[in-house]
Chain A
Amino acid sequence: MNTDSKPLNTAASKPGKTELAEMFRKFIDPQFVITDEETLKPYECDGLSMYCVMPLLVVLPETVEQVQQVMRLCHQFAIPVVARGAGTGLSAGAMPDAGGVVLSLAKFNRILHIDPLARSARLQSGVRNLAISEAAADYGLYYGPDPSSQIACTIGGNVGENSGGVHCLKYGLTTHNILSVEMVTVDGERVMIGSDGLDSCGMDLLALITGSEGLLGIITEVQVKLLPTQEIARVVMAGFGTVDEAGAAVGGIIAQGIIPAGLEMMDSHAIIAVEAFTGAGYPVEAAALLLCEVDGTKEEVQEHIEKAEALFRDFGATSIRTSKDDAERALLWKGRKNAFPAMGRISPDYYCMDGTIPRAHLGQVLNEMQDMSKRFGLRVANVFHAGDGNLHPLILFDANKEGELERAEAFGSDILELCVKVGGCITGEHGVGVEKIRQMPMQFTDPEIEQLNAVKSAFDPLGTLNPGKGVPTLRNCQEYRAINAKPQAPEVQHA
């Protein structure tokens, strides 16, 4: 079959850094072709700063045509390209390649069109997530997926990571909330995937692109669906004496036929840290806490809040508090939203994991994690999306103490292995990136990995788009399996 790849220049003719920068400066404003060490420094990592690499250079194109030219040049010389939005990713998915170009989409920050009647918005890929809802608010609409980083993260990055957030239990992930993307292929073609309609003919490439971590193309534009802003939202906060009771209550509320707008859980470590940080009025004596938000019409919310309160009591809640107005609702969420910075008060460093499990195993997994905590000699706090079974264990450690970082990584790997063992997966929303590539063989067999690599090749035959991320090579899989996929660290037995 014809794979239509253009012939490449030989490695011998590959341009060096200076030569390449000069080529870019012919069509990109020279100030946006960055080559000096000091200005390159902020690009050496994304939100997961334990993985750092200095790129060859960084370009900040301002038009799609410039992106196309960058891609054509890089394709011609087989130079790696790593696309980057706001750099808020947490799995080193936007970590540069030492011999490659970082293509920043920071200049693509315009909201192109809002269609209030059709309830959609067309955006350049560097538009911030929260800015979409702010712009749509005038029409009584908003954009559903609300990752914790929504103040800073961009819609292009959201597509790359298939981002979710507190409200995705009811309103879905990015993949459920986009209509189309404009993408530049690895060889510089500008293509439109999807349309204004709810589906399109042919293979669902939009599904493949969403969550592909920048390995299949450069997203320059996204069309999103907008949702009507609900009449009212209220939140019930319930404290429980055990994590098992709270876990059971999560299933219980779904069984009632209620899909909450958000259903979040914290364990005792998190409750104590967060309460000290925010003073939101959380029950510090509770072993677990649920925050359950219900939204809809006034009548529906009233009906469901009453049901939720009664159900939490039936499942053994030791305390219940329901927001009376938006100010109180915001206060109750304040703790959850500040949970990660709150950890800074009780630990110098933390390592945030991201695995998903079937909800029925919540209690079991949380309890097993506490056993692991003793084994590794590191505390673990849990703040997570209980309704989706998406865990975010925060492993607390001190990077200045010898061996603690390695123990934290090994602990994290064991947690992910446990997630897979109970029927879950190694990453719910943060992506694989570099961070979890060693764990991919836990979830996939060799033929599956081979198939995923073949999918990549269909878009990127030379493998120059964000190389070394997302999917390991088969050779690497075998190496990871040989070392049991885990970072090697001694386990510590507590007295």
Chain B
Amino acid sequence: MINLILRRLLQSAVVLLVMSLLVFIAVYAIGDPIALLVDPQADQRDIARVRASLGLDAPWWAQYGHFLAAAGRGDLGQTFTHGEPAIRLVLARMPATLELASAALLIALVAGVPLGLWAGLRPNSLSARLVNGLALLGFSLPTFWVGMMLIMLFAVGLGWLPTGGRGPTEPVFGMPLSITGIEGWRHLLLPAVTLALFKWSLLLRLTAGATREAMRQDYVRFARARGLFPARIVGVHVLKNILIPIVTVSGLEFGSLIAFAVVTETVFAWPGMGKLLIDAIAVLDRPVVVAYLLITVALFVAINLVVDLLYALLDPRVRLGSAA
């Protein structure tokens, strides 16, 4: 186990290094932040001075070297526009994104697994086909459009929910969270549902497929033969077995929820990391873009590690460490 964690950490370090290089080159190639940041009245000398003070006068590889050396000390640079360490800015916006992604995952699980079970048990019924059709819709509708439609319906049309933004927050273990109050949930509901839609479809289909598969297995047949109640067969035998892939996929998809949140946060003016990223790209605030991507990658890596460990716990057949 220790071995696995050590090897994972080493791999992660390599991934982060490669990512940082790619991101750095990409952002460097887009354009010149100075052209966007320095005020129009500034003359060439001012521009040159600012360029030098931000370290943008060096060739890209020297800038990258500089960045790496500082990153080794945990410093991802100062943001150009906010005058603060980039890492602090991104981390300050993380609770909002984590809250949104967690709520979305919760909604996807609560709405997806039971429906999937239902559809899997009666694969040929009309209701199962209806549910499957809905899931297909969930896969194919663009997030931006769904978000706008929900806003137009529930916020503009009916006036039940706010159009965007985050409700009042309260610190929970030092993290400002809005899910402690009703107002917070009112703000969270629409963006969380929008973000959940795709994952809900995925979990529904996964559950339905796994259920169908499980129902054909010998242990279910034997259970039936023993005369157990259907509720017990499904609730204990089937569910226990299909839970393993569901947990794994949920964990892995949590990472992509955080990444996908970019679009949803933009539509709902949700003050998370994704919206920060979009606004930072607009003004080429390179340290913020780099910090966001590195932190997201680190989060991905950490989540995957936790999922692998959970997997090993749930399913003793999986021997971690022995595979290549």
The judgment on whether A and B are partners is no
Binding site for B on A (CB under 8 A): none
